[in-house]
Amino acid sequence: MTSQKPSSPAVFWPRCSAVHGCTGRATGRFGGCPAHLRPREFEEFAGALRPGADLDLRGVTVPVWLLDGVLDAVTGPDGRPHLGRARFDGAVLPADAVLRGVCVEGDSSFDGACFLGGASFYDARFFGNASFRGARFGGNASFHEARFHRYASFEEAVFTCDALFGEARWHADASFREAVFMGAACFDRARFGRDAAMQAARFGGPVSFKRVQVTRHARFERTRFRQGVWLGPLAAGGRIVLSDATVHGSLRVHAAAPRVTARGIVVHGEAGFRLRHAELDLEDAVFEGPAAVRSLARAIQGLAPPVDAPAAVRVASLRRVGAAEGLHLADVDLSGCGFLGLRRPDALAITGDCAFATVPARRPLHPWGRGERAVLAEDLPHGAADPGRLRVLYLELARATAESGRPRVTRDFRYRALEMRRRTERDPLRRLGLHLLWITCGYGLRAGRAVAWLAVIVALACCGASALHHGDRARGGHTAHRPGGGHTAHRPGGGA
């Protein structure tokens, strides 16, 4: 969208020398900043403005009449104010500043600006780079349905009341690094064309990211949430990063993304991850309330899923995870998950169709039967885990899977626990006893092996009995007993 610019755009020169502290820039003709022009001078100044004119109000304490007069002067036939390059660095804007529907066709800068009260940028359009770095909003700030066509920065901005970014659109990166939200923050139905960067931001009130689409990464590293957070339904084409974040209250992540990383996150409440198309990494996470990880059976309506990603959730790591009130895993892929160092394995529950890594089963006596056995990723051939620690893990996972409806996996874990014990047993007699149990009946967990041994014993007994029977018959064919104790040789086919 373009507008005809004036032949003589408004230009401001050296700083105002007014004694009341205004740092605004003086106009070249009138020798004073716009806030201090006389009425007739201001009318002449505003009359020179046209839609699309550049505006420089850096350091100006902008009264309501000045803001309204400038916006009226640059309003185009479409009813929207049109500015070229807008510079409000360090400006003080009035309470309830209304820039509704404003179109800034060049770069805009509000760095360090102070909004004394509420500010409305509802349905605004920023066609150039937009920067609100270090801006202060004294009241509610509304960017509802705003459009940012290039890079937008709200880094270190402070929102003392509610911040509304519902249905906003960013066509490039949006940065809220180290921003402070003291009231509620709403990003519902927002769209981010590249990254949504919110590292080290502070959210003091409720936070909502419902039905949000992020083309690349949603980044919340080191972010602090004072009243919990609800992320989702949310779809990201790259990563959702919550590493080292702190959540006071509940955490809800309902998302589809190729990778969700929450390493070192601390949640002082309940935590729930309902994911699709994702690989989840929870290494070193701490959950003070109950935590759960589940796969979403259906796609998130209205949000595009990541490309070429399987629907199942793959848990990459639970190493050193602390879950004080239990961790529940349901219908997730655990074939590559690391468990070593899990702080409360006794509070782990595994239900549904959870896949584990497998290795070929060794069958010393019979080649038939099942060919694979469930194991942990740390117990794969290339792993170098401590067998003693693995034994404890296997026992706890056997308990955790006991109610999952998959008794075969439970038996496999109990079997592997005894295998670890057999490998680490130092007493020779006990080790010999474990070897005998392993080879004869698979520690009492392999009924087929015991049946095979029984079949071998029965076969050997039958063979022995048959051999004895044939031996007796052979000896009886060469001798015949007579009455009175004598005997005669027996001739085949003839008499005595």
Is 65:87 a contact under the CB 8 Å cutoff? no
Is 261:278 a contact under the CB 8 Å cutoff? no
How many Cβ atoms sit within 10 Å of the Cβ of residue 477?
10
pLDDT at site 105: 95
How many Cβ atoms sit within 10 Å of the Cβ of residue 93?
26
Candidate ranges 26-40, 136-150, 391-405; pick with highest mean pLDDT:
136-150
More confidently predicted of 396 and 138: 138
Cα(375)–Cα(76) distance, rounded to whole angstroms?
70
Cα(75)–Cα(196) distance, rounded to whole angstroms?
32
The per-residue pLDDT for range 246-297, each reduced to its tens digit, is 999 999 999 999 999 999 999 999 999 999 989 999 999 999 999 999 998 8
How many Cβ atoms sit within 10 Å of the Cβ of residue 361?
15
pLDDT at site 88: 95
pLDDT at site 428: 65
Cα(32)–Cα(4) distance, rounded to whole angstroms?
27
What DSSP line would sit under 361-384, residue for residue?
PP-SS-S-S--EEEE-GGGSTT--
pLDDT at site 228: 92
| C-alpha atoms less than 13 angstroms from C-alpha of 129 in its C-beta half-sphere | 8
Least confident of 4-13, 393-402, 459-468: 4-13
* Token reading at 249: 């209250």
Percent of the chain clearing pLDDT 90 (strictly above): 51
Looking at the DSSP assignment, which residues form a beta bridge with residue 230? 208, 252
Global confidence as pTM:
0.78
- Give 181's DSSP letter: E
Least confident of 8-12, 183-187, 224-228, 235-239: 8-12
Q: Does the pLDDT of residue 384 top 80, yes or no?
A: no
Q: State the average pLDDT for the chain.
A: 81
Cα(191)–Cα(59) distance, rounded to whole angstroms?
33
The per-residue pLDDT for range 408-454, each reduced to its tens digit, is 888 788 777 777 766 665 666 655 555 555 555 554 555 555 555 55
pLDDT at site 409: 82
The per-residue pLDDT for range 354-381, each reduced to its tens digit, is 888 888 865 544 444 556 788 888 887 7
Nearest to 192 by CA among 171, 166, 209: 171
Query: If DSSP codes are grouped into helix, strand and coil, which group holds residue 318?
Result: coil
- Dihedral over Cα of 185, 188, 191, 194: its sign: positive
Q: pLDDT confidence of 346, banded at 50, 70, 90?
A: confident
